[in-house]
Structure 1
């Protein structure tokens, strides 16, 4: 991980967390928060529909902020409960795989138009070895990796919907240099999928970017955990940042906040930026 001073240059905010609908609004809020880096939504119902439409990439390239990567969400993903997202998320639903591969092609084109080399997404719930759909699911991920490689883009799967051991085994089996990880420690708590610190050690070589988010584990099986402002949950951020440093991570770290109205989110993000900067300065 870079020094505290240079880390501030790669410390930013996910665009959808600010609930913006236009590039000027995103530009203004990032400036007010005192950061330039952002992971930007491609443009979809889950991660912001842009007023600029097809002109969004040019407007974003001409803005004052720095984009570290793009994020794709699929129409029809339902995050109401862990079960609904298991049934609807990523490349999980077999009848939607072809449609979602087409959406991925579109997102790869948009990522290229944005001048970016990284595209983040949730792959969906990865079947365990021995489960009937695993081979077909991995074939889908291989195809996604092939399409990304053809355009010189890296796909980074977000953590949380499976234990790190399963994601590690899957990446090893796929052996695709274009398939990597967007690491979110809070997702592992929200889905109750293991220890995020140990997960850093397992996934370290493949971590391309990090979402900074905090949460508490669910108290009832089958329910969500609770997302909370940074430093108020169960992610041990001093240990988490130390773990990133130990693997030599030097990529972007973007604060993600997905609950609350826009003013509440901005307050929480502002708090989170100060919290992380303090930890970096004293690490």
Structure 2
């Protein structure tokens, strides 16, 4: 159970692009990017070379997509993931390109947010959303790659239902426990009863439940929000989880660095109880 960090792909630096991961002492990262201009064989070759030099393993590619992305309850449903019809076709193709990139660098899977998947399975938009996700999943499957949903905008039962309807063999979940709380979608510990068998890796992130119907809850340092991490990691151990714990802190600068270091120490303690 390696501990790592989510790391933005940056081709502009002259130093090793994984230096920040190495500086934390992490052996692994999720490589995240929203810039399709970096989805090239040339950049992929640099990733492979510099990850090897830094002794960092890329456990998945977090695949961002073109177009707007508004992280709230009002504009989120019409801007996020593969749900909005206006951006769906372009985003399906973008995710296929990120699958190519994952194959080039030897990563096992791509991860993304699929958006506010309809809760009502009789919603006329639901079949088209399932079909779009299936198209990406099948493309990944053809390359021997996983397609993993990051939890967030959907409830655990919607995620389970959608996985079952897609039906490919390569589906998994990047479980972000904070997102279930930030979106008011569920308790992450209880969610393991529904989707635990599909969990491939974890975002170590924390948050508070929303108190405004139009805004997400507040993301906070792991261990200071509503995720009961000791109980959460124990239950993951109980169900046989062996994947990576990827720390994510959605701030920047020195406070982010210090929180990541502190969370690393806390996570090691929490894992002792597994």
Fold similarity call, TM over 0.5: yes
CA contact (8 A) 2:148 2:172 kept: yes
Please tell me whether the aligned partners of residues 60 and 114 of structure 1 are also in contact (alpha carbons under 8 angstroms). Answer: no
> Structure 2 CA distance, aligned partners of 1:56 and 1:124?
31
1:109 aligns with 2:100: yes
Q: String of CA shifts for 1:163-199, please: whole Å, max 9, x gaps.
A: 1011111112222212211100000111110111111
Matches within 5 A, 1:177-188: 177-188=169-180
Match of 1:15 in 2: 7
Quick check: 1:132 aligned with 2:141? Answer: no
Cα drift, residue 103 of structure 1: 0.6
Show the counterpart of 2:202.
Answer: 210
SS at match of 1:180: strand
Number of matched pairs: 270
- Distance verdict in 2 for CA 1:274–1:19, change over 3 Å: farther
Q: For 1:175, which of 149, 167, 183 is the aligned residue?
A: 167
Alignment of 1:154-233 (within 5 A): 154-233=146-225
Partner of 1:152: 144
State the partner residue of 1:38.
Answer: 29
Deviation at 1:29, TM superposition (A): 2.0
The answer to whether the Cα contact below 8 Å between 1:57 and 1:110 also exists between their aligned partners in 2 is no
* Equivalent residue, structure 1, for 2:63: 72
Work out whether residues 61 and 115 of structure 1, in 8 Å CA contact, stay in contact via their aligned partners in 2.
no
SS of aligned partner of 1:78? coil
Aligned match for 1:247, one of 239, 246, 255: 239
Q: Out of 254, 264, 273, which is 1:263 matched to?
A: 254
Q: 1:227 to 1:247 in 2, by over 3 A?
A: same
TM-score (norm. length: structure 2): 0.91
Query: Partners in 1 of 2:257 and 2:136 — Cα distance?
Result: 34
The one of 251, 274, 280 equivalent to 2:265 is 274
**If the length of structure 1 is used for normalisation, what is the TM-score?**
0.88
Match of 1:4 in 2: none
Structure 1 unmatched runs, 5+: 1-6
Q: Is the 8 A contact 2:30 2:61 kept in 1?
A: yes
Secondary structure (helix, strand or coil) at the match of 2:107 reads coil
Q: Is the 8 A contact 2:29 2:56 kept in 1?
A: yes
| Deviation of the 1:200 alpha carbon | 1.4
Q: Specify which structure has the bigger relative contact order, considering alpha-carbon pairs within 8 angstroms and separated by 6 or more residues.
A: 1
User: Residue 52 of structure 2 is aligned with which of 51, 54, 62?
Assistant: 62
Please tell me whether the aligned partners of residues 30 and 65 of structure 1 are also in contact (alpha carbons under 8 angstroms). yes
Deviation at 1:92, TM superposition (A): 1.3
Unaligned runs of 5+ in 2: none
Q: For 2:261 and 2:115, how far apart are their aligned partners in 1?
A: 31
